[in-house]
Structure 1
Amino acid sequence: MANTPQAKKRIRRNENRAAINTARVSRIRTYLKQVDAAVEAGDKEKAAEALKAAQPELARGVARGVFHKNTAARKMSRLSKRVAAL
């Protein structure tokens, strides 16, 4: 257990940051699921719009440190490929 005030504060901050990061990842996943749903439905216009909305969210996730940049690039590449195939 934490003894020093600094360690106690660090525990509090880590809990807050974990909650914020969990919300960020959840938000990004929602955008990705919207792209997937549009692709599954075969709606190219809706899929393209969803992809356009998902791109900055993924970039923001990288900037905020919740995703590695290569992970975001891989996800974007795969989604773009699926949308283009429609």
Structure 2
Amino acid sequence: MANTRQARKRALQAEQRRRHNASQRSMVRTHVKRVIKAINTGDHAAAMAEFRTAQRVIDRIADKPAFDKKRAARVKSRLNARIKALAA
């Protein structure tokens, strides 16, 4: 454990940041799961609707340090490819 008051404060801040970032990543995973669930049902319109909402969430979180921009792009690209395959 930290010995100085400053180090204790920094440890507390780091823990708060870790919890917040974990929450943000969890929210992204939840939205991705919703899209995959809609794809698995075979409903293209529902999958597109879920993808649009997930896309907004992913883009918003990717602007923060909790989620890498390239990872966000990769996730969106893969979801979009699955939706296009569903339409075909």
**Same fold? TM cut 0.5:** yes
Runs of 4+ in 1 over 4 A off after TM superposition: none
Post-superposition Cα deviations, 1:31-77, rounded to whole Å, max 9, x if no partner, equal 00000001111110000000000111111111121111110000000
Count of paired positions: 86
Unaligned runs of 5+ in 1: none
**Corresponding residue number in structure 2 for 1:39:** 39
Query: Which residue of the partner structure matches residue 10 of structure 1?
Result: 10
Long gaps (5+) in structure 2: none
Aligned counterparts of 1:74 and 1:12: Cα–Cα separation in 2: 33
Aligned-residue offset at 1:83 = 0.6
Partner AA of 1:24 in structure 2: Q
What is the TM-score normalised by the length of structure 1? 0.94
Alpha-carbon distance in structure 2 between the residues aligned to 1:58 and 1:23: 13
